[in-house]
Chains A and B, each alone.
Chain A
Amino acid sequence: MTDLSAFDLRRYVTGQSQSVGVWIALVVLILFGLLRYDNFGSAYNLSSFLNYNAMFIVISVGMCFVIMTGGIDLSVGSVAAFTSVVAAYLSPYGLQVALPGAVASGLAIGALNAFFVIAMRIPPFIATLATMLGAKGGALVISGAETISVDWESNFTSLGMGQAFGLLPWSFVLTVIVIVALWIVLEQTSLGRTVLAIGGGEDASVMMGLGVVRAKIFVYMLSGGCAGLAGLFLASGFGAGQPLEGVGWELSAIASVVVGGTLLTGGMGSVGATVAGALLLGLVFNILNFENGRGVISLSAYWQMVIRGGFLFVVILLQSRVAASANKERH
């Protein structure tokens, strides 16, 4: 246990300046919110914030693994919409059926992505763009283009609406378990090392005899499975399977990964920093809502889009500064 935390500390403090930046920004933003708004730290805000952002955190973490191999997964939003419908249909049988059902359908679409990318050698951007269209079409077909109401009699909605220990939403508890499991996979297993090695140089990884194909299948199925879980959260938390949801989620997830300091070229990345990136983007949204609530200024949803884009711009600008100065030090 002790050497684990020592490893952690060294890595985050000395190694990854960008990861440190995102954590500092997160702390600053939380402090700002706590000082400025009365109800910011309330149990209600905490629980609704975590509940809503659990979806984005899981897809961001899945996306992070794909990006670490140098790939990309544009299908996650549509897959979440698809599995939210699947979960809604399975909701009468309870969570014990709906959870595996939703995750399995996400895994299946992830497997399809893996097949396109690995066996058919289609660039990930195009392959997952196609499954994005396909999954969206599929969601609309199986739902008849209507929201599918869930069964309120079964235990299905307890995942998205109930709270563990009266505080944390169950969806967030499940998200934390996923995060920890994936952190262990990335940092402590050979599979995680292989994922990073592929992003660093795929041909070299193949020549070294690493299980490249196995690892790539893993990341695309993981991303699909995470999107499946997000769809389950969506259906359970909002009481309906929503085939039209999920638009632009893939871009939010990519933004979270990028804000977390992971380069899209692959070869590096951190589960923790990605979670922090997702929380940071969610927090900006949360704070904008609070600012509206004060009644001094009124920011429409339209302005919020502009501000989110602007925020992304600032983060990217800061990152490229950090990257440039790191490069200079190296030379």
Chain B
Amino acid sequence: MTTSTLSGLNIANVSRYGGVFALFAILLFNVLVTPNFLQAQTLFVNISQVATIAIVAIGMTLVIATGGIDLSVGAIMAFSGALAPLILLSDFGTASPVLGVAAAIILPVLVALLCGLFNGFMVSRMNVQPIVATLIFFISGRGLALVLTNGNLQTFNNPAFSYLGTGRLFGLPFQGWLVLLIAVAIWWVVARTIFGRQLLAVGGNERAARLSGIPVRRVKTGAYVICAGLSGLAGLIVVAINSASDAARIGNLMELDAIAAAVVGGALLQGGRAPIFGAILGAIIIQLVKYTLLANGIADEVAMIAKAGIIILAVYVQQSRTE
């Protein structure tokens, strides 16, 4: 074993343990200070809230791995979240309940995938910078969702669909299992498939990747498509939790949470790294910090400042390691 791989391993370990250490510190603090922390209810609440952040953060990690960024995730969540009740409440949805639920899950995700295709096209074909390309849907995606619903709150009563957000499997919230499943699948894609290798290569050095024959455009587009599809799914979960869809609120500011989770989890904005489980760790840390502050009666606005501090600290620690 050469020294370089040895030090590489060390860096990876230290980085990983840093996040885990932070997580344990927060957990320990909560056990000692927060009233009623060690209760099943606390666990359920946190799992169901962290799931959407984690799912979007996984997609965001893939986009960041290519050196890009996706600002449109929240708007895509709103778009797909607005579509689902429309389908459930339509004549088709009420006439054939089973097909209706299937369509209410599949169609919004398909639409989200198309949004991702558009983002990927703008970035990889038109050579528009990712922040500008995804700005288009950031502005208009939520507008489309509001147009579709006339800005009204849509409520529905459909236990089968609501299982996405309120169901329990082996005693734990269904979406928690969903996150695990998605994480394992995406991790496998990144670590074990050609697409995954190409993704990291594109992020590491796009020019070199192109010269070595990697289909850079297709790989980048793939990252945006996956990210958008996961965002669409996350939008459905939010709607399922509430049995209602409010296009103005679904996924609002989700892009910030997802980017923060990915970065805290060890993603580098310049690309070349895709720590999938890191993204989940980051999402859990951000959720727990939010929960800790709220549960201890600290106002939401102070929690924002704390989140800002955590982001700066996490990136600073990461930065000093990579140098």
A binding-site residues for B, Cβ under 8 Å: 72, 116, 120-123, 125-127, 129-134, 136-141, 145, 248, 251, 254-255, 258, 263-265, 300, 302-310, 312-313, 316-317, 320
* Residue in contact with B311 in the complex, picked from A121, A130, A303, CB distance below 8 Å: A130
Task: Say whether B170 faces chain A, with CB atoms less than 8 Å apart.
Answer: no
Asked if A133 meets B308 with Cβ closer than 8 Å, knowing A254-B131, A316-B126, the reply is: yes
Q: Is the CB of A125 within 8 A of B269?
A: yes
- Residues of B with C-beta under 8 A to A140: 299-301, 304
A126–B312 CA distance with the chains assembled, in angstroms:
8
Asked if A306 meets B135 with Cβ closer than 8 Å, knowing A137-B308, A300-B151, the reply is: no
A sample of 29 inter-chain contacts (CB < 8 A) reads A72-B131, A116-B312, A120-B316, A121-B323, A126-B311, A127-B312, A129-B256, A129-B259, A129-B260, A130-B308, A130-B309, A131-B308, A133-B304, A133-B308, A137-B302, A138-B301, A139-B301, A140-B299, A263-B129, A264-B129, A264-B132, A265-B129, A300-B151, A302-B143, A302-B147, A302-B151, A303-B143, A306-B144, A310-B140
Q: Is the CB of B126 within 8 A of A320?
A: yes
| 8 A Cβ contacts from B35-88 to A | 69, 71
Q: A123-B315, A141-B302 are in contact. List 8 more A-B contacts (CB 8 A).
A: A116-B312, A130-B308, A130-B311, A136-B304, A138-B301, A258-B132, A320-B127, A320-B128
Task: Say whether B214 faces chain A, with CB atoms less than 8 Å apart.
Answer: no
Task: Say whether B137 faces chain A, with CB atoms less than 8 Å apart.
Answer: yes
> Please, which residue of chain A has its CB at the minimum distance from the CB of B127?
A320
The secondary-structure label for the interface of chain B is helix
- Residues of A with C-beta under 8 A to B108: none
| 8 A Cβ contacts from B280-305 to A | 299-305
- Residues of A with C-beta under 8 A to B256: 129, 132-133
A121–B139 CA distance with the chains assembled, in angstroms:
30
B152-170 to A contact mask, C-beta < 8 Å, 1/0: 0000000000000000000
Question: How far apart are B165's CB and chain A's nearest CB, in angstroms?
Answer: 25
| 8 A Cβ contacts from B65-117 to A | 69, 71
A139–B308 CA distance with the chains assembled, in angstroms:
14
> Please, which residue of chain A has its CB at the minimum distance from the CB of B129?
A264
- Residues of B with C-beta under 8 A to A126: 259, 263, 269, 311-312, 315
> Please, which residue of chain A has its CB at the minimum distance from the CB of B139?
A309
A302–B301 CA distance with the chains assembled, in angstroms:
28
Q: Is the CB of B133 within 8 A of A308?
A: no
Q: Is the CB of B140 within 8 A of A138?
A: no
Q: Is the CB of B299 within 8 A of A303?
A: no
- Residues of A with C-beta under 8 A to B311: 126, 129-130, 133
Q: Is the CB of B315 within 8 A of A122?
A: yes
